Structure 1
Amino acid sequence: MIGAIDNAKRALRADLRERRQQRSQPALEEAEAGVKAQLDALVAATGARSVSCFLSTPTEPGTHAFVADAVARGIRVLLPITRADGLLDWAVATSDADIAEGLFGLPEPVAEVLSPLALNDVDLLLIPAAAVDRSGMRLGWGRGFFDKTLGSMEKCPPVYAVIFDSELLDEVPRDLHDQAVTGVVTPTQTLRLA
């Protein structure tokens, strides 16, 4: 049965990855503007003063404009730094931080590294996903970084996955270790799911 779940995840991820690669640059820029507006509204609605976010890759819903603006407004933003052991370290985003290619080719900040425990002080988590279903189950990209992170937190604040509108699905394949999210942020809407 586990093999069937893994195969279903792999096939869905491949389909989603291909769809993302087909988006035009103007569509990606429009999506980033929409995501920024939705994230700004979510931060305001929750009163969050400290958030975690990720630096989007070129095919993901863009988060760079949100991060830069949040930092400029005095919001503390923690950015993930991947580790070989499958955990995430964190760095505080700054307006002048360099960005480099991290483990697995993901954009990561070049800054002072904070331990995984730094995440315990945030009010809101904004995480990447390949897709999310209507029950809040998140399908990641297969390395388990965020599932491990969420599963290890004693007191987890609200968690929102940032996806494109078409990536909110009726159902995604799930394993025992998979972690659900509170809601999703897309370029056009913010939905609380759990």
Structure 2
Amino acid sequence: MPDDKVRARRAIRAGRRARRDAQSAADRRADGEAIRDAIISVISPEAPVAAYESLATEPPTEALIAALREAGHEVLLPVLLPDKDLDWRSGDDETQTLGTDAIAGAGVIVVPALAIARDGLRLGQGGGSYDRALARRAPGALVVAVVYDDELADVVPSDPHDQAVDAVVTPAGGLARL
């Protein structure tokens, strides 16, 4: 892992593009099902779950979101604001947002990451969106980052404002508490 964020992000993004180009639809589906199964195992039935819709280069979250909705969970999904903070919505209508503090109602918060260190530090995309949002989470909310297996590292470059996560999920490794 490069020791500065810019080089680390560049290297991981290149690896993710190569993985996307080489991965079959069946392999991506299997990764998504493994992620779903690992996260579903720690979901409390009564609290909303904050998640995110993965990009093509990210570990897939589509199966997770579908399973949560099928089970009757309220799923909070982020809406990026012009200042890079996150508002939240609870459905497919992005015009009906719940406010930046809606994340405080989530019992489990599933976050994207480029890499996760074994101490829970998260390397994000660089906009600070999730660092700001996670500062508003409820005490006791479980924060779970989703990365590919090779993106779990001993250390990642970090800054004092970076918010740590409680657990990591990888397709092959499942859920690990940090």
- TM-score where L is the length of structure 1: 0.81
Instruction: Find the aligned partners of 2:133 and 2:149 in 1 and give their Cα distance.
Output: 25
Preserved CA contact (<8 Å) 1:28 1:61: no
1:12 maps onto 2:8 in alignment: yes
Give matches, 1:32-181, under 5 Å.
32-49=29-46, 50-93=48-91, 97=92, 110-181=94-165
CA 91–75 in structure 1, closer or farther in 2 if over 3 Å, else same: same
Cα distance in 2, alignment partners of residues 46 and 154 from structure 1 = 15
Distance 1:33 1:111 in 2: 32
What runs of 5+ residues in structure 2 fail to find an aligned partner?
Answer: none
1:34-75 deviation line (CA, Å, top 9, x unaligned): 343333343333424421100000110011121122112211
In the TM superposition, structure 1's runs of 4+ consecutive aligned residues that sit over 6 Å from their partners are: none
Letter aligned with residue 159 of structure 1: V
Give the match for residue 101 of structure 1.
none
Unmatched tracts of structure 1, length 5 or more? 98-108
Structure 1 residue 30: deviation in Å? 2.1
**Identity over aligned residues, as a percent?**
35
State the shift of 1:26 in Å. Answer: 3.5
Count of residue pairs brought into register by the alignment:
174
Q: Per the alignment, do residues 171 and 66 of structure 1 end up closer, same or farther by CA in structure 2, a change over 3 Å counting?
A: same
| Structure 1 position 183, deviation (Å) | 1.0
One-letter amino acid of the structure 2 residue matched with residue 179 of structure 1: Q
TM-score, normalised relative to structure 2: 0.88
| Contact 2:101-2:136 within 8 A present in 1 as well | no
Contact kept? 1:164, 1:186, Cα under 8 Å: yes
Q: Cα deviation per residue 1:70-114 (whole Å; 9 max; x = unaligned)?
A: 112211110000011232110113xxx3xxxxxxxxxxx635111
Aligned pairs for 1:15-34 within 5 A: 15-23=11-19, 24=21, 26-27=23-24, 29-34=26-31
Instruction: Give 1 or 2: higher helix fraction.
Output: 1
Inter-partner Cα distance in structure 2 for 1:144 and 1:39: 26
